[in-house]
């Protein structure tokens, strides 16, 4: 096999690998007669898409972090904190829009703190964000007084409604937000200087610095943007639950990271794509949905998702050995 052909195969695998997984998962349930009629209905796809919004928003930010060679373990706690802040603000009589902005900014602030600590203290992102995971979760429980916050229903709770109002939206507003931000991020990653710098920092930080990239600034920005997405995701979590729950989304950061990795992101940095990440999110959502529809016990879907993560990373390694 010629070198060029190898490169072609490798690129094809890069782009289509995650898609093959998604098609396999959908095909699997579409072929089971017991559920196929129900599984393939538009209403079910809409339901799966709505369920994916929270992980997807978190994963968009996480994609940037992982491309830059970092990791954000505080994502899920950040989501819980933002959802509690939003509920708290609405409960305290703030205008819903102000509460939403506050929730998103809270997420951004946590991200900013992550970025600042990683760059200023020269600490490993794993450690900084692991610490922040506890801090944000604790803060959420503190603010909520160790219980959930019941907030009055407002339009914020319509953001994740399966049947949106107005009905011409077709999909829940949350899904549209994911689509809009995904396109924006994909464009930014590919065509803006900031986007290229993220890849440069993740591929080889020292070289990037020597080439004049202000690596610290790039990293702080990346964590801050990731935090903003977690904040938005937290608002969506509140919208879905209709209560601010400080114990929600425990362990969700691993789902988010898994989505990025299944979608072709490399934990050693420099690689990953928005499209791949979204496919990764959908693979896991469709698996959950299909397994539940079949009435399969939870351990089956845990085993399958675990296997998929290993297969995805194995493919990732194969690609790297080639380079």
Residues 291-320 within binding reach of other proteins (CB under 8 A): 292-298, 300-304, 307-308, 311, 314-315, 318
Indicate the DSSP class of residue 32: -
Task: Supply the minimum distance, in Å, between the C-beta of residue 309 and other proteins.
Answer: 11
Q: What is the DSSP string of 78-110?
A: HHHHHHHHHHHHHHTT--HHHHHHHHHHHHHHH
Query: Per rule CB under 8 A, is residue 51 in the interface with other proteins?
Result: yes
Nearer to other proteins, 17 or 69 (CB): 17
**What is the crossing angle of helices 298-322 and 274-294, to 10°?**
150
When the beta carbons of 129 and 239 are compared against other proteins, the nearer one is 239
Whose CA is closest to 284, among 307, 313, 315, 317? Answer: 307
- Report the residue number, 21 or 265, with the smaller CB distance to other proteins: 21
Q: How far is CA 316 from CA 18, 44, 49, 224, in A?
A: 11, 31, 26, 27
CA torsion, ordered 161, 163, 167, 172, to nearest 10 deg: 40
43 or 92: whose CB is closer to other proteins?
A: 43
Taking the C-alpha atoms of residue 54 and residue 62, their distance in angstroms, rounded to an integer, is: 12
Site for other proteins in 251-290 (CB under 8 A): 251, 288-289
Which H or E run includes 257?
helix 252-262
| Contact with other proteins (CB under 8 A) among 18, 39, 77, 111 | 39
Q: Which one, 130 or 305, has the nearer CB to other proteins?
A: 305
Q: Give the shortest CB-69-to-other proteins separation in angstroms.
A: 24
CB of 28 to other proteins, least distance (A): 5
Identify the H or E element spanning 243: strand 243-244
Residue 180 binds other proteins, judged by CB under 8 A: no
**Binding stretches for other proteins (CB under 8 A):** 1, 6, 9-10, 13, 17, 20-21, 24-25, 28, 32, 34-35, 38-39, 41, 43-44, 47, 50-51, 54, 145-148, 150, 157, 161-162, 237, 240-243, 245, 247-251, 288-289, 292-298, 300-304, 307-308, 311, 314-315, 318, 322
């Amino acid at each position: 096999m010629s070198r060029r052909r190898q490169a072609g195969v490798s690129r094809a695998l890069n782009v289509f690998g995650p898609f093959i997984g998604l098609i396999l998962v959908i095909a699997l349930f579409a072929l089971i007669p017991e559920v196929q009629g129900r599984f393939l209905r538009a209403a079910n796809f809409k339901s799966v898409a709505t369920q994916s919004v929270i992980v997807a928003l978190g994963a968009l930010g996480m994609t940037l972090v992982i491309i830059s060679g970092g990791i954000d373990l505080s994502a899920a706690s950040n989501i819980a904190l933002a959802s509690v802040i939003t509920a708290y603000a609405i409960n305290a009589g703030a205008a819903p829009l102000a509460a939403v902005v506050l929730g998103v900014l809270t997420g951004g602030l946590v991200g900013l703190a992550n970025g600042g600590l990683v760059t200023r203290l020269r600490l490993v992102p794993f450690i900084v964000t692991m610490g922040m995971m506890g801090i944000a979760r604790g803060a959420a429980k503190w603010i909520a007084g160790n219980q959930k916050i019941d907030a009055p229903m407002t339009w914020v709770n319509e953001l994740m409604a399966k049947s949106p109002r107005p009905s011409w939206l077709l999909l829940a507003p949350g899904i549209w937000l994911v689509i809009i931000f995904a396109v924006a991020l994909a464009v930014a990653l590919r065509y803006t200087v900031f986007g290229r710098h993220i890849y440069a920092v993740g591929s080889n930080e020292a070289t990037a610095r020597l080439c004049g990239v202000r690596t610290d600034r790039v990293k702080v920005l990346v964590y801050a943007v990731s935090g903003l997405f977690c904040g938005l995701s937290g608002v969506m979590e509140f919208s879905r639950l209709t209560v601010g729950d400080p114990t929600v989304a425990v362990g969700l950061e691993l789902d988010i990271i898994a989505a990025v990795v299944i979608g072709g992101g490399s934990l050693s940095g420099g690689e990953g794509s928005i499209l791949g990440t979204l496919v990764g999110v959908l693979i896991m959502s469709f698996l959950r949905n299909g397994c539940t529809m079949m009435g399969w016990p939870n351990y089956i879907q845990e085993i399958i998702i675990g296997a998929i993560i290993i297969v995805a990373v194995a493919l990732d390694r194969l690609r790297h050995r080639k380079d």
